[in-house]
């Protein structure tokens, strides 16, 4: 094979190696294998569009773990799949159809509309799978799943019926979070909250028979649905009113005044209106007090009462306040916490409707014990407190959605009769008088079954037996409640086992936003200008910036495919891996991608150098341990330590440390130090042929280990170099030689790096050896500092004097090649006496390092010293003149005279030193 090209081009290797791995079956897992199982189910991306940086991050982390465990000898299975994403997908398709046809969803028959959604799904899923492959994801594509495929559909119907039959699923009139744009109910987790400026209106409600009360409300339009006024039963101001009645303004309806402990006497006047159909607290009050419930809103968010019919809630508010006139006694500013749909961004309206719910109280104790008892480990552990707080405040889960796209609820009605059927199609024996519930299940219902439905449940499959429970779930912390908790719930309920042993919750990606504040408002900078600042160009004074959640509006979205095209997949993966700490936020700095592109080139060039200097190497013969030098023993000790650390980092999910340690070992320890140290031996300038052969073998061992250590993070470049190294070395065989050689030969006999064993620590770290090498490294550092102080050109060669006792410079003598290889030193002289002439020096412990001035610098140094002498002599004459002036000495303060005498002595000493140096020159 020809030598490696001078530059690494990711485009020439990525597609080639992905096809090789896929066609070679390297991603496929065998459920009949005797190896220990390791399984991850992918958080299925929504079939709504292309992948974003969040997907790139989570899928890179999963692939790192899968490749690592596969190389460690586990039967590693990574199950890919996509999510139907009910509301999100239906919204996207509706929007596209309206743009193309001018028709809305309800202008289509249900099945016709769904055919359009399925077509969208096929197109979108194809793009997503292609992007996952571009990322290098080593998923078992033979097990590709979709949350609405035949198997998942069966799992959903089976679980629904089981819960229905056991009374855990029920239907009733219930207040829900209603999205008036998508016209569907949302669970609590699908509602985002924003703080907005609003008002608190104080309104006079007349009491039947005379008098009035003042109520305070932030939503006066909902008074049209009031069915009571409430006070606290122990509030002495209003005890006499309990049992009396109110004539509700604008409606003429008579409603009671009741006592309920829910009322906060300190809020407003201590009297509150009760609107059960449009407020969650009021709903509970109504159920306790047997109050009627009046729904004043249509599904699309319009009022349907009296003269306000057809108005939006906001329009009705203005009209109601206008019609109340003098009954509005006060209006004051008030901060309001407003619920917003996570999909449509519409303001959520509490809405009374018939919905299906899961009784979450049944699962509460197991959800808590799963984490508290350590059956499921949350990483980082600080998320446990958040998890427990959420579980303690669980409400029943609204699982019905007023959509067409999704798992249709398997319930049929005929009058008051109800059938729940978990088979395909309609229940057997029913006629056309029966109708199926038109709603679909919340997307998270099917997602909650993902860890076992993807393994074949409800069938008893070999995959399920081998790989359930799965090993780890990797996901963003934002869906700890949406998804993680519900998978734990369903795993315990259906399988009587947790769904995974560990959950790694990574931080959310933030991008840097840049903007100018103009008279018209905030103006975000364009893409080209942003890129300049991202790569380090200082921002002008009028440009502000901060890290924010990625948003098209703010222009801080980063496209993973663009990153791959610019930097290569390996660089992107390494940069992402190095960014993942256990923090809640990941600030994605574009300069990091530049850095790891440079690192990929370093990996390539380091390997290229090694492979250009392996002529005649016979690896199978093994290392001659007697010929190992200090630097050899040092690098082997670091290899042991690095291998141990990276394995531990991946075990602990400290991805950033794993990436950093791999980077440091390859760039600093291997390339910058060890490769430089062996060059004199490789080039025949030092050592023997036997020493050269030994170092060649060690270079192969180190390169092969480094490639395998980095393969899970940067699979393409490592596979390319590994294959070329295998080919260059030719046939190998395992012999009774040292362990490092045996392990390396075993690895190189593997068909590919992806299938090679992951490095494990051999022997032990040699702290004494590392300390000795570090002492030599400190001497190298000080020699470089001396050269910098003398302003020597990098190519300028010099001598070096090492001054000290023989026992003190013995280490340097024995390892002189380290000095001469890493510094431009032509000759080292060891002496107990300082030389007469030198340029600069440094102390290292008991040794003094001295570099004489090279001939090329002597003239320059002489001119500098003469100029310095001339300057000092002028100052000396001035000082002498003052001190010899008796009048000056008699009048000047004594401390001034003393200071001048000190300066005189110091100048004379400096002139003496310069004269001595000039004499030496």
With tokens 């663009």, the residue in question is 562
Instruction: Tell me what pLDDT residue 2 has.
Output: 60
Sign of CA dihedral 725, 729, 732, 738: negative
User: DSSP string of 277-346?
Assistant: GG-HHHHHHHHHHT------B-TTSBB-SGGGTT-BHHHHHHHHHHHHGGGEEEEEEEEEEEEEETTT-P
Using alpha carbons, select from 146, 27, 30, 38 the residue that is nearest to residue 83: 146
Helix, strand or coil for residue 765?
Answer: coil
pLDDT < 50 positions in the chain: 1
Instruction: Tell me what pLDDT residue 276 has.
Output: 93
DSSP 703: H
CA angle 677, 678, 679 (to 5 degrees): 95
* Whole-prediction pTM: 0.83
Instruction: Tell me what pLDDT residue 189 has.
Output: 65
CA angle 569, 575, 580 (to 5 degrees): 125
Instruction: Tell me what pLDDT residue 370 has.
Output: 97
Convert the pLDDT of each residue in 171-187 to its tens digit.
988 888 999 988 888 87
Cα distance from N-terminal residue to C-terminal residue, the chain: 56
CA distance 843 to 787: 14
Instruction: Tell me what pLDDT residue 787 has.
Output: 84
820-824: long-range contacts (C-beta < 8 A, 24 or more apart)?
A: 820/680, 820/686, 821/676, 821/677, 821/679, 821/680, 822/673, 822/676, 822/677, 822/780, 823/780, 823/783, 823/784, 823/787, 824/787, 824/792, 824/794, 824/795, 824/796, 824/797, 824/798
Using alpha carbons, select from 843, 618, 862, 644 the residue that is nearest to residue 763: 644
Count of beta carbons in the 10 Å neighbourhood of residue 576? 31
Instruction: Tell me what pLDDT residue 837 has.
Output: 64
Structure tokens at 590: 């574009």
Instruction: Tell me what pLDDT residue 921 has.
Output: 67
Instruction: Tell me what pLDDT residue 623 has.
Output: 95
| Under 8 Å between Cβ of 246 and 214 | no
Distances from the Cα of 129 to the Cα of 89, 524, 714, angstroms? 17, 33, 20
């Amino acid at each position: 094979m020809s030598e490696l090209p001078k530059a690494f081009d990711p485009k020439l290797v990525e597609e080639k190696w992905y096809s090789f791995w896929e066609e070679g079956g390297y991603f496929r897992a065998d459920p009949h294998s005797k190896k220990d199982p390791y399984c991850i189910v992918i958080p299925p991306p929504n079939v709504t569009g292309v992948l974003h940086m969040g997907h790139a991050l989570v899928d890179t982390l999963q692939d790192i773990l899968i490749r690592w465990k596969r190389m460690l000898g586990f039967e590693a299975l990574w199950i890919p799949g996509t999510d139907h994403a009910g509301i999100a997908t239906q919204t996207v398709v509706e929007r596209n159809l309206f743009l193309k046809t001018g028709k809305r969803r309800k202008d289509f028959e249900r099945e016709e509309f769904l055919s359009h959604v399925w077509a969208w799904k096929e197109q979108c899923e194809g793009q997503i799978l292609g992007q996952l492959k571009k990322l290098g994801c080593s998923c078992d594509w033979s097990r590709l799943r979709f949350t609405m495929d035949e198997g998942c559909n069966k799992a959903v119907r089976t679980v629904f019926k089981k819960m229905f039959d056991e009374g855990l699923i029920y239907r009733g009139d219930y207040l829900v979070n209603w999205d008036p744009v998508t016209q569907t109910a949302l669970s609590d987790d699908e509602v985002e909250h924003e703080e907005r400026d609003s008002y608190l209106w104080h309104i006079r409600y007349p009491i039947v028979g005379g008098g009035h009360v003042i109520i305070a409300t932030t939503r006066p339009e909902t008074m049209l649905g009031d069915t009571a006024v409430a006070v606290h039963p122990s509030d002495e101001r209003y005890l006499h009113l309990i049992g009396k009645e109110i004539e509700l303004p604008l409606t003429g309806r008579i409603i009671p005044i009741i006592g309920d402990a829910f009322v906060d006497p300190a809020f407003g006047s201590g009297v509150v209106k009760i609107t059960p159909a449009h407020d969650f607290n009021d709903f509970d009050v109504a159920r306790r007090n047997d109050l009627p419930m009046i729904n004043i809103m249509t599904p699309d968010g319009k009022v349907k009462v009296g003269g306000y019919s057809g108005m939006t809630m906001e329009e009705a508010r203005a009209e109601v306040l206008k019609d109340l006139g003098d009954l509005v006694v006060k209006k004051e500013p008030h901060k309001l916490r407003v619920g917003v749909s996570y999909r449509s961004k519409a303001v959520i309206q509490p809405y009374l409707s018939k919905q299906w719910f899961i009784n979450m109280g049944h699962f509460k104790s197991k959800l808590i014990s799963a984490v508290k008892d350590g059956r499921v480990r949350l990483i980082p552990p600080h998320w446990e407190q958040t998890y427990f707080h959420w579980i303690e405040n669980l409400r029943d889960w609204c699982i019905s959605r007023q959509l067409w796209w999704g798992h249709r609820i398997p319930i049929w009605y005929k009058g008051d009769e109800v059938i729940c059927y978990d088979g395909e199609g309609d229940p057997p024996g029913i006629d056309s008088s029966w109708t199926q519930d038109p709603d679909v299940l919340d997307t998270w219902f099917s997602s909650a079954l993902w860890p076992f439905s993807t393994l074949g449940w409800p069938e008893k499959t070999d995959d399920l037996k081998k790989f359930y429970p799965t090993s780890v779930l990797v996901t963003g912390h934002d869906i700890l409640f949406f998804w993680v908790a519900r998978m734990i719930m369903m795993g315990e309920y259906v399988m009587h086992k947790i769904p995974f042993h560990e959950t790694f919750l990574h931080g959310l990606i933030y991008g840097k936003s840049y903007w100018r504040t103009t008279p018209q408002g905030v103006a975000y900078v364009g893409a080209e200008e942003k890129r300049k600042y991202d790569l380090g160009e200082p921002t002008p004074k009028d440009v502000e910036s901060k890290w924010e959640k990625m948003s098209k509006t703010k222009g801080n979205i980063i496209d993973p495919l663009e990153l791959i095209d610019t930097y290569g997949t390996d660089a992107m993966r390494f940069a992402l891996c190095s960014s993942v700490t256990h923090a809640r936020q990941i600030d994605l700095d574009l300069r990091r991608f530049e850095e790891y592109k440079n690192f990929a080139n370093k990996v390539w060039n380091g390997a290229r150098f090694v492979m250009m200097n392996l002529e005649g190497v016979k690896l199978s013969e093994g290392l001659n341990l007697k010929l190992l030098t200090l630097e050899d023993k040092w690098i082997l000790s670091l290899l042991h330590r690095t291998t141990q650390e990276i394995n531990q980092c991946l075990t602990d999910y400290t991805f950033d440390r794993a990436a950093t340690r791999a980077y440091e070992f390859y760039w600093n320890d291997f390339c910058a130090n060890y490769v430089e140290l062996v060059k004199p031996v490789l080039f025949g300038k030092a050592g023997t042929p036997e020493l050269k052969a030994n170092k060649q073998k060690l270079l192969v061992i180190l390169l092969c280990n480094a490639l395998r250590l980095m393969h899970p993070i940067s699979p393409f470049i490592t596979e390319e170099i590994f294959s070329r190294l295998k080919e260059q070395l030719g046939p190998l065989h395992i012999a009774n030689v040292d362990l490092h050689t045996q392990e390396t030969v075993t690895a190189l006999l593997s068909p590919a790096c992806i299938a090679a064993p992951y490095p494990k620590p051999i022997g032990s770290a040699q702290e004494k050896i590392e300390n000795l090498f570090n002492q030599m490294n400190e001497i190298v550092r000080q020699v470089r500092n001396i050269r910098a102080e003398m302003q020597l050109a990098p190519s300028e060669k010099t001598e070096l004097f090492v001054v000290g006792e023989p026992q003190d410079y013995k280490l340097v003598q024995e390892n002189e090649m380290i000095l001469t290889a890493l510094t431009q030193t032509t000759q080292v002289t060891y002496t107990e006496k300082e030389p007469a002439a030198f340029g600069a020096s440094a102390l290292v412990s008991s040794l003094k390092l001295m570099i004489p001035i090279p001939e090329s610098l002597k003239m320059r140094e002489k001119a500098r010293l003469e100029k310095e002498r001339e300057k000092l002599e002028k100052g000396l004459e001035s000082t002498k003149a003052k001190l010899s002036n008796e009048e000056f000495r008699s009048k000047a303060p004594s401390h001034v005279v003393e200071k001048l005498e000190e300066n005189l002595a110091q100048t004379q000493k400096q002139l003496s030193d310069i004269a001595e140096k000039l004499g030496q020159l």
